[in-house]
């Protein structure tokens, strides 16, 4: 190759390399074209919304701020037990907690769930039921209250959402009152005097009246199922709900008309023996009395969210009235 040709080739290569370098520089310097913002990856099963005054959803500064407005805590006391063919195992825990949340939207009070299971030995014939001893339940709730007292809370409303916890809940209330600086009540009992007025007010505002059933209707029956259809509707499977076939010991069966008529003596004697663990030999565990786990013979298909709404709002409003009365009777800061 002649010298002139070699010079031309060199010049061409230099120009080409310079152009490539310029193009690379422009490519780096050019702003990136905007791309649509991708949603951050999140748990596809999470659907909860933050609820005001609900302890599991709160940060410690939010609890600290709430303490400036209230020293009251609602503690739901529930259970994990069978609720027929149609109701979720967590009915009592979930319904009690949802009722407490609704109350806390109307008046400042902390909602602090502690345990899911309760005392349910007589439901152990159905898979999924978890039962704890009264001693375990009492110890856990009492120690939880001691923690809350250290943070500055002083007044405690135990919302018992399961009949089997009644005696244990009363004992926890008494221990708080006898052994700590705190003051406690059972919320169902406290709201009781306000229930009639709250119900009449709801009816006056247009709520439909639902007469009490004229047949035996207790655990997971029309009333409780109606509550669930209002409070936790997507967890109730009414497609499989049906009236239970009940078999009671003959002497308890004979008492039923008086129990349904609200005879207090008959009811006391009836409940003293009914719904007891199979191991007691009383033949009154749920599995021995009911083929579905429902304790009652009312037509379960008549349960409705409308009835649950009236029942829930009556209890919520009555509870709020009691809480507001307590706040006036014993203002914050009273030692």
| Listed range (43-52, 119-128, 198-207, 275-284) with the worst mean pLDDT | 198-207
Mean pLDDT within 162-191? 98
Mean pLDDT within 218-239? 97
Tell me what pLDDT residue 155 has.
Answer: 98
Confidence of residue 39 (pLDDT cuts 50, 70, 90): confident
Mean pLDDT within 102-112? 98
The b-or-e profile of 231-253 (16+ CB within 10 A means b, else e) is bbeebbebeebebbebebeeebe
pLDDT > 70 in the chain, percent: 89
Q: Answer whether residue 217 is part of any domain.
A: no
Q: Is the pLDDT of residue 22 over 80?
A: no
Q: Answer whether residue 28 is part of any domain.
A: no
Q: Answer whether residue 299 is part of any domain.
A: no
Tell me what pLDDT residue 145 has.
Answer: 98
Mean pLDDT within 152-157? 98
How many structural domains is the chain composed of?
Answer: 1
Q: Answer whether residue 194 is part of any domain.
A: yes
Tens of pLDDT, residue by residue over 81-92, are 999 999 999 999
Pairing of strands 183-186, 155-160: parallel
Q: Answer whether residue 282 is part of any domain.
A: no
Q: Is the pLDDT of residue 138 over 90?
A: yes
**Which structural domain, as residue segments, surrounds residue 124?**
55-212+311-329
The b-or-e profile of 135-145 (16+ CB within 10 A means b, else e) is eebbeebeebb
Q: Answer whether residue 316 is part of any domain.
A: yes
Two structure tokens written together for 190: 């406290």
Q: Is the pLDDT of residue 140 over 60?
A: yes
Q: Answer whether residue 276 is part of any domain.
A: no
Tens of pLDDT, residue by residue over 274-283, are 999 999 999 9
Tens of pLDDT, residue by residue over 287-322, are 999 999 999 999 999 999 999 999 999 999 999 999
Q: Would the CA dihedral through 84, 90, 93, 96 be positive or negative? A: negative
CATH number at residue 82: 3.40.50.10310
Q: Answer whether residue 16 is part of any domain.
A: no
Q: Is the pLDDT of residue 252 over 70?
A: yes
Q: How far is it, in rounded angstroms, from Cα 331 to Cα 107?
A: 14
Instruction: Return the higher-pLDDT residue of 33 and 46.
Output: 46
3-state helix/strand/coil string of 175-244:
HHHHHCCCEEEEHHHHHHHHHHHHHHHHHHCCCCCCCCCCCCECCCCHHHHHHHHHHCHHHCCCCCCCCC
Q: Is the pLDDT of residue 31 over 90?
A: no
Q: How far is it, in rounded angstroms, from Cα 111 to Cα 98?
A: 10
């Amino acid at each position: 190759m002649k010298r002139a040709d070699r010079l031309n080739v060199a010049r061409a290569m230099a120009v080409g390399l310079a152009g490539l370098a310029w193009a690379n520089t422009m490519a780096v310097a050019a702003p990136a074209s905007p791309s649509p913002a991708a949603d951050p990856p999140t748990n596809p099963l999470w659907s909860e919304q933050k609820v005001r005054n609900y302890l599991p959803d709160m940060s410690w500064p939010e609890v600290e701020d709430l303490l400036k407005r209230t020293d009251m805590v609602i503690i739901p006391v529930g259970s994990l037990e069978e609720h027929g063919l149609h109701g979720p195992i967590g009915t009592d825990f979930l319904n009690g907690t949802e009722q407490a949340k609704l109350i806390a939207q109307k008046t400042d009070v902390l909602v602090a769930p502690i345990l899911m299971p309760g005392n349910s030995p007589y439901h152990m014939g159905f898979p999924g039921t978890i039962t704890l001893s009264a001693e375990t339940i009492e110890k856990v709730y009492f120690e939880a209250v001691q923690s809350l007292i250290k943070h500055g809370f002083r007044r405690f409303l135990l919302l018992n959402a399961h009949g089997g916890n009644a005696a244990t809940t009363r004992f926890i209330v008494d221990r708080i009152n006898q052994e700590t600086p705190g003051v406690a009540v059972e919320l169902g009992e406290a709201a009781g005097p306000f229930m009639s007025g709250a119900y009449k007010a709801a009816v006056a505002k247009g709520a439909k009246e639902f007469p009490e059933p004229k047949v035996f209707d207790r655990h997971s029956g029309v009333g409780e199922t109606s509550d669930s259809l209002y409070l936790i509707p997507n967890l109730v499977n009414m497609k499989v709900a049906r009236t239970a076939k009940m078999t009671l010991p003959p002497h308890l069966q004979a008492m039923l008309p008086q129990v349904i008529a609200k005879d207090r003596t008959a009811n006391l004697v009836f409940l003293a023996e009914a719904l007891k663990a199979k191991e007691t030999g009383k033949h009154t565990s749920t599995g021995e009395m009911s083929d579905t786990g429902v304790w009652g013979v009312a037509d379960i298909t008549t349960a409705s969210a409308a009835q649950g709404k009236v029942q829930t709002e009556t209890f919520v409003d009555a509870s709020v009235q009691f809480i507001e009365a307590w706040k006036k009777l014993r203002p914050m800061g009273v030692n």
